[in-house]
Structure 1
Amino acid sequence: MVFFWAMLILIGMVVADFYLPMLPSATLVTAMVGLVFGNPLLVGVLLVGAAGSSWLGEFLGYRVFRVIRAGLRRRAPRAVTGTATRLLTRTVVKLEGLLQRTVVDHPYRTTMVARFLPAGRTTLAWVAAGAGRAPYARMAALGGALWAVYTVGLGLLIVWIAGPGWESLIGSVVTVLAVGVVLTWFAKRWQRNKAAEILDSEPVEEEADAAA
């Protein structure tokens, strides 16, 4: 019964984490491994529940973002005033276009990187909602599966080392935070390199901008 209620809380937390990225869903999944350690069936249920709830949250959020984007496109465009405002708007549009191109060209590779960035699943869904050819259902499934394997596997390793109890719970929190920092650093580095490659491959537009 404890596991049942814990799974309901976990599913709600993982789904809500899409909209509130500060929720500690990864820490909760890792810590819950201490409840099921030694029972392969419950470990499998936890793994499937984490992956499924992750996919559900991302796919629902993606549908919401599609509706929001469609509403924004239907609104009459407003004139953008001010040099700084025009420059900022053009920069944001260009950056989003680069991200959308990356999602379309390399959807699964981008998913593997974005899934471990802070608010990465939310950002990926927003970008994919504007890229019509992105296979987002499969991208979300891949991201959810990778995330579930990572969190549950990390929890199993911690419990195997420290044993079930407060030691493993504290170790889960500390380890998830530390590994998250390392993965975020690598993911951001990959993102910067990818953006630089795309920018270098584009034609130079300084003369056209100066004429405008």
Structure 2
Amino acid sequence: MSALIPRPRAEIAPGAVHLPGWLSLEQQRELVIACRGWATGPVPIRHTALPRGGVMSVQTVCLGWHWQPYRYTRTADDVNGKRVAPFPDWLVEWGRRALIDAYQDAVPDYLDGAAEYTPDTALINFYDGAAKMGMHQDKDERSAAPVVSMSVGDSCVFRLGNDENRGRPYTDVRLESGDLFVFGGPARFAYHGVPKVYPSTGDAATGLTAGRLNITLRVTGLTG
């Protein structure tokens, strides 16, 4: 999509906000460099094995807490038993700024102010041109704090559904490199997924020549 055509902020559903172009090109490059480092370990990026024998088409690496279906642990017992990389303070600040920009004056409706938002885990998903994410709820956390999602690289279709089932009604949103999507409040437990990635739509200036990175910040509500 041409940069000459502005894409305005949009509230897709109550609590679900899309901010196109939220990340600068420099910030996107910073994320790509950081993600490359996290992907090498101490717990490397991998295709997550599902309990019923399936394997996710996206590749995932975690920060702070390790996610495996359907729980969080400090160590990646399903990979190599090591503790995942720590969650960096600068990502906490990015998350707080994301809430301020997304919710504006409505932040207190979802939290006691954006300053109270302290994500402690990040799921970093890498999509190649064929990868998809089925409709699911983010409900393994013990917190209803918003999820902050950032995109770098190839564009995709992001599908935001309802909180009752995986079917309609849902809304499809095209997410492009640099976009921010935040969902909290009434939309926090909505089913959502990525049915399609558009290969070769990213900007090589980000440092990512192929594929899509999605970085989601969450509050687990866990201690220890």
Normalization by structure 2: what TM-score?
0.25
Instruction: Tell me: higher relative CO, structure 1 or 2? Use CA pairs within 8 A at least 6 residues apart.
Output: 1
TM-score between both structures, scaled by the size of structure 1:
0.25
Judging by fraction of residues, say which structure has more helix: 1
- The structure with the largest strand share of the pair is 2
